[in-house]
């Protein structure tokens, strides 16, 4: 855990005042090729991952040029012809939405690598390069320039809460997997409205919002709904959840993530926390019901065969290893 992350022949450094111990030596898989960022890996080429080919109504597919594994690194020589794309929705300016990075406005100076009035533009890995006036993805080529479907150039921060409990029988004993003979963990899982995939109930960190606030807000918005709960009981439950999310939890990961929205100039970074109810005292008792931002919410067994959105399977695996649970 003490090693620095490395990707595409560069050393990624933790953010100022963040201990190195909070980072993991295992890195993401690049979305453009579906493999780990290791330019030394032999490969004749790669195909676009499914997230860059499919898309949804809100985020239509953009077919990216193939970038061979050994050409992902910016230091490699490559006849690179990426596609320029920024979603019209990102560029629009209405009463409800304002373009957050109006680069085309010469009067706007964007303070790269700093925390400005719009958002925190610092990367969890230290300063990123500015090339031709925009940030350069520290993990290499993606086949796409511009912001894609992301609101900001550079790092776009998210937070993902993994809420877990042990799977138990009618007598309260932990249930073991028949093959591994390890206890089975369950986590709060949602089904995304946009892709219909299983996912962790996370989301984007809003302006000047702490990660702990995002974790709690997204869990509430995507996994909880209280249509039949009395107001006093609802307030009590929300108070309990707020206390747990602000004072408990174990950091699982903090950094760059494999995400279908990543481009050469904008990328996703996230903070992942595990909130585990060991003794069935609080979170394990919650009756889940999807909120506005999810199609469904439920307790799901942790298992390596479970298909999950983006890098969520990597995070779930880390939680299983943390608790010595079945995977």
* 15 is a domain residue: no
* 287 is a domain residue: yes
Give residue for tokens 């307030």. Answer: 235
* 275 is a domain residue: yes
**Domain range enclosing 171:** 157-323
**pTM, two decimal places:** 0.74
SS3 of the chain = CCCCEEECCEEECCCCCCCHHHCCCCCCECCCCCCECCCCCCCCCCCCCHHHHCECCCCECCCCCCCCHHHCCCCCCCCCCCEEEECHHHHCCCCCCCCCCCCCCCCCCCCCCCECCCCECCCCCCCCCEECCEECCCCCCCCEEEEECCCCCEEEEEEEEEEEEECECCCCCECECCCCCCECEEEEEEECCCCCCEECCCEECCCCCCHHHHHHHHHHHHHCCCCCCCHHHHHHHHHHHHHHHHHCCEEEEEEECCCCCCCCCEEEEEEEEEEEECCCCCHHHCCCCCCCCCCEEEEEECCCCCCECCCHHHHHHHHHHHCCCCC
CATH code for the domain in which residue 220 is found = 3.90.79.10
CA distance 181 to 256: 34
The CA-atom distances, in angstroms, between 250 and each of 87, 90, 160, 188 are 35, 34, 12, 16
* 291 is a domain residue: yes
Q: pLDDT truncated to tens, each residue of the chain (327 aa)? A: 333 233 333 333 333 233 333 333 333 334 343 344 333 332 333 333 434 444 555 566 678 888 888 899 999 999 999 999 988 888 775 545 556 676 656 677 889 999 887 788 999 999 999 999 899 999 999 999 999 989 889 999 998 889 898 999 999 899 999 999 999 999 988 887 766 778 888 778 877 677 777 777 767 666 665 555 566 666 776 777 777 777 778 899 999 987 888 999 999 999 999 988 888 776 766 666 655 565 678 889 999 988 887 788 899 999 999 999 999
* 305 is a domain residue: yes
The neighbouring-strand residues paired with 131 are 134
Number of domains in the chain: 1
* 142 is a domain residue: no
* 161 is a domain residue: yes
* 86 is a domain residue: no
């Amino acid at each position: 855990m003490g090693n620095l992350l490395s990707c595409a022949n560069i050393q990624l450094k933790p953010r100022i005042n963040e201990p190195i111990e909070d980072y993991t030596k295992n890195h993401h898989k690049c979305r453009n090729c579906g493999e780990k960022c290791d330019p030394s890996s032999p490969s004749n080429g790669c195909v676009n991952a499914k997230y860059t080919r499919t898309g949804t109504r809100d985020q239509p597919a953009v077919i990216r040029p193939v970038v061979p594994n050994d050409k992902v690194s910016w230091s490699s020589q490559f006849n690179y012809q990426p596609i320029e794309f920024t979603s019209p929705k990102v560029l629009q300016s209405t009463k409800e939405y304002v373009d957050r990075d109006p680069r085309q406005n010469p009067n706007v100076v964007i303070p790269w690598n700093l925390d400005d009035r719009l958002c925190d533009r610092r990367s969890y890995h230290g300063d990123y390069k500015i090339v031709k006036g925009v940030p350069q993805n520290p993990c290499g080529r993606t086949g796409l320039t511009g912001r894609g479907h992301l609101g900001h150039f550079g790092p776009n921060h998210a937070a993902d809460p993994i809420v877990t409990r042990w799977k138990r029988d009618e007598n309260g004993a932990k249930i073991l997997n028949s093959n591994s003979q390890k206890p089975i963990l369950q986590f709060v899982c949602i089904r995304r409205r946009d892709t219909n995939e299983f996912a962790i109930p996370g989301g984007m960190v809003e302006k000047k919002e702490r990660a702990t606030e995002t974790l709690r807000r997204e869990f509430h918005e995507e996994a909880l709904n209280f249509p039949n709960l009395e107001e006093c009981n609802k307030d009590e439950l929300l108070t309990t959840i707020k206390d747990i999310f602000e004072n408990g939890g174990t950091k699982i990961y903090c950094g760059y993530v494999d995400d279908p929205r990543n481009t050469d100039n904008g990328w996703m970074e996230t903070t992942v926390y595990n909130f585990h109810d060991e003794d069935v005292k609080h979170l394990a008792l919650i009756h889940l019901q999807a909120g506005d931002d999810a199609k469904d919410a439920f307790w799901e067994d942790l298992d390596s065969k479970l298909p999950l959105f983006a890098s969520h399977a990597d995070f779930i695996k880390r939680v299983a290893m943390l608790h010595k649970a079945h995977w």
